Amino acid sequence: MIPEEPSDPWTPFIGAVVEGLSTAARTAGLELPTEVALDQLDLEGGPEGDVAFPAHRLAAGARRPPAEVAAAIAGAFPPTDGVRSVHATGPYVNVRVDPTRLIRATLDLVFARGATYGHRPTTGGPVCIEHTSANPTGPFHVGRVRNAILGDTLARAARAAGSHVTTQYYVDDMGRQAAMISWIWAKPRDQWPESVRAADDGRGGEAEKPDRHYGRIYPAVSAYLKEHADAAAEVARVVQQVESGTPPANHREITQQILDGMLASLERLGIRFDEFVWESDFLRDGSVPAVLERMRRSPRAVTEPNGALAIDAAAHGLPKESTHVVVQRADGTSLYVTRDVAYHLQKFGRFARVVDVLGQDHQLHARTLDALLDEIGETRRPEFVIYQDITVPEGGRMSTRRGSAVWLDDLWAEAVARARKEVLARREDLREADVDRIAEAVAAGAIRFHIVRVAPEKPVVFRWEDALSFEGRSGPFVQYSYARAASLLRRSGVEGRTATFEADRLSDPEEVELVRVVAKFPRVVAYTARSGHVQALAGYAHELADQFNRFYHAVPVLKSEGERASRIALVAAVRQTLGNALELLGIVPLETM
RNA sequence: GGGCGCGUGGCUCAGCUUGGAUAGAGCACCGGGUUCCUAACCCGGCGAUCGAGGGUUCAAAUCCCUCCGCGCCCGCCA
């Protein structure tokens, strides 16, 4: 067995502390297995130590006062490599590690791992993360892009934590919505309903992004169809054509064009997909008919009065008014949920874990999907990551129909414009291309950070001034800190990877604290992947940048004497760690800004 | 009516997974800091009965129950 290089600089210290606590407890006549000590250990420490052990529970078991137990353990703590001091504060045993050793262990690990510091080796089965999957009917609004940012960040974190991840975008080219688009565009413009023509105000033309071009009239078409049964019937025929494998000539092409336009918007945010799965594939390969056949055999299969096939899902506790889940219309066409069952069967065949990132309006869909999987005897289930809506200050979620949608492309344009202004205000030496490059990276960083910093289960109120903030708890603040570190390194003339240091030269409080923050990065990555709490990654990036800036103002680097090389090494480690954190957030680390 | 989620300084959030010591940030506001490594920065100040009530516990923002408020969903749409 080759001993694996530890991925976390804290690991040996925690191990030593736990051993010491256990030994000390025994000396004090108490039983404290190392696993229990580890379980109860507070890794964040408190005001008095790097790690803390609350003695209450141990004391309760022994029927002794907690403060007395803490004092006894502190007194009996054996001399331990890596541990500098142990003292009791009331009922807490506070342990300080040897800062010099922690600094050495941390910087050594950062330099050895480089771009993979914080990551773990790839282990375990393949994971599928499906996210975004917005219908190709028009441009992204900001509400929808939360899915993409969340899913992309989750995928990056999972990869870093050792999973082999494949991201998928499920393209709905089959439903009524896609059919509406090809239906209207198959008609000459002079045959469009008046309301639809009015919605198409003649903007755009050749240069316009196709998602915007084709999507602009979508709400008007949708509204028109609600009022006109004859037109709706035409659309239904298109659905049938698609379902039977003979879609209208323009169908796939328009869908692809709109999708390409949408993807171009995500590309600016650094979001790409490994695979695209088209819904119609599941018709073509016969898997939807196969799923329907399995459903038909269910004892809970029922035929509705008009001939539609449904499953009586009352047994699954679905909170519907009617517990009948229709899986096939009377005209033989399938429904979204039915195709989604076929899609998931395919995923289960390829992946050990299946994760779906869904907006909370899909909550019921998720439960229905589970119920139908159960109905056909499938035991595996997807893991759902549900996020809340982005709402508008006036109240309510972003909605195209209500006119409250903020388009991602508009937010992007505004963010780039503001970033350009900021860049130009402080840099006159840059070439135009560099100004653009930096402005776009800052814009993307601001947008991504603004979304990812909030827990997915919290609703987000969209405010322009917040989304465009470049200060404080923001993406640009972190990027700026990175650029500051990079600048320092450039001027130092020392390459990061060859940085040499003497750990005992780094003894200022700001230096030790900065190392501590660097050292906890692997723990944050693991936590983020395990919990899905992507906001922890954003919080960490801000914390590290913040501590770096404090250090920067507190101690000179290039102008210092004996500490110069060691401080440069520390800056190199910060730059690396900050860069790795930004990478996981999908934000471009800028060498200068 | 049922289901899911949320409620933490004036505003926006973190902390809740795994209960632990004085509840952390950012914005706004007030006061400072640049002959010096990038001021998109830093330092100080102001400001919180963690929605309400009850329960569990040595200990609750964190776990459980009830209530109140807000958002969304409850389609042969996706």
State pLDDT tens for residues A16-70. Answer: 999 999 999 999 999 999 999 999 999 988 778 899 999 999 999 888 999 999 9
State pLDDT tens for residues A306-341. Answer: 999 999 988 887 766 667 899 999 999 899 999 999
Note whether ipTM > 0.85 here: yes
Which amino acid is located at A1 in the chain? M
Is the torsion defined by CA of A448, A451, A453, A455 positive or negative?
Answer: negative
Which bases of strand B have any atom within 7 Å of the beta carbon of a protein residue? 1-7, 12-18, 20-22, 25-28, 33, 36-43, 58-59, 70-78
pLDDT of residue A205: 60
Instruction: State the average pLDDT over residues A62-90.
Output: 94
Cα angle value A288/A294/A295 (rounded, 5°): 90
CB within 7 A of strand B (chain A, 122-141): 135
**N residues, chain A:** 593
Question: What's the CA gap between A535 and A548, in Å, rounded?
Answer: 20
pLDDT of residue A59: 93
Residues 6+ apart with CB under 8 A from A267: none
pLDDT of residue A3: 43
State pLDDT tens for residues A472-523. Answer: 999 999 999 999 999 999 999 876 556 789 999 999 999 999 999 999 999 9
To the nearest whole number, what is the mean pLDDT of chain A? 92
Nucleotide nearest to A305 (CA to C1'): B76
CB within 7 A of strand B (chain A, 201-230): none
Which spans in A453-508 are helix H? 464-467, 475-492
Question: What's the CA gap between A19 and A10, in Å, rounded?
Answer: 14
3-state secondary structure of A72: helix
Residue A227 has pLDDT above 70, yes or no: yes
Q: What is the DSSP letter of A334?
A: B
* Stretch among A385-394, A547-556, A577-586 having the lowest mean pLDDT: A385-394
Q: Which residue is nearest to nucleotide B39 (CA to C1')?
A: A426
By the 8 A CB rule, do A502 and A560 touch? Answer: no
State pLDDT tens for residues A96-113. Answer: 999 999 999 999 999 999
The answer to whether the predicted template modeling score (pTM) of the entire model surpasses 0.90 is: yes
CB within 7 A of strand B (chain A, 5-44): 40, 42
Note the CA–C1' distance, A535 to B54, in angstroms.
33
State pLDDT tens for residues A158-213. Answer: 999 999 999 999 999 988 889 999 999 999 988 999 999 988 866 656 678 999 98
Among A522, A399, A591, CA closest to A120: A522
Report the 10 Å Cβ neighbour count for A84: 15
Sheet (strand A301-303) strand order: A301-303, A309-312, A324-328
A233 touches strand B (CB under 7 A): no
pLDDT of residue A2: 38
A386 touches strand B (CB under 7 A): yes
Place A1 in a pLDDT band, splitting at 50, 70 and 90. Answer: very low
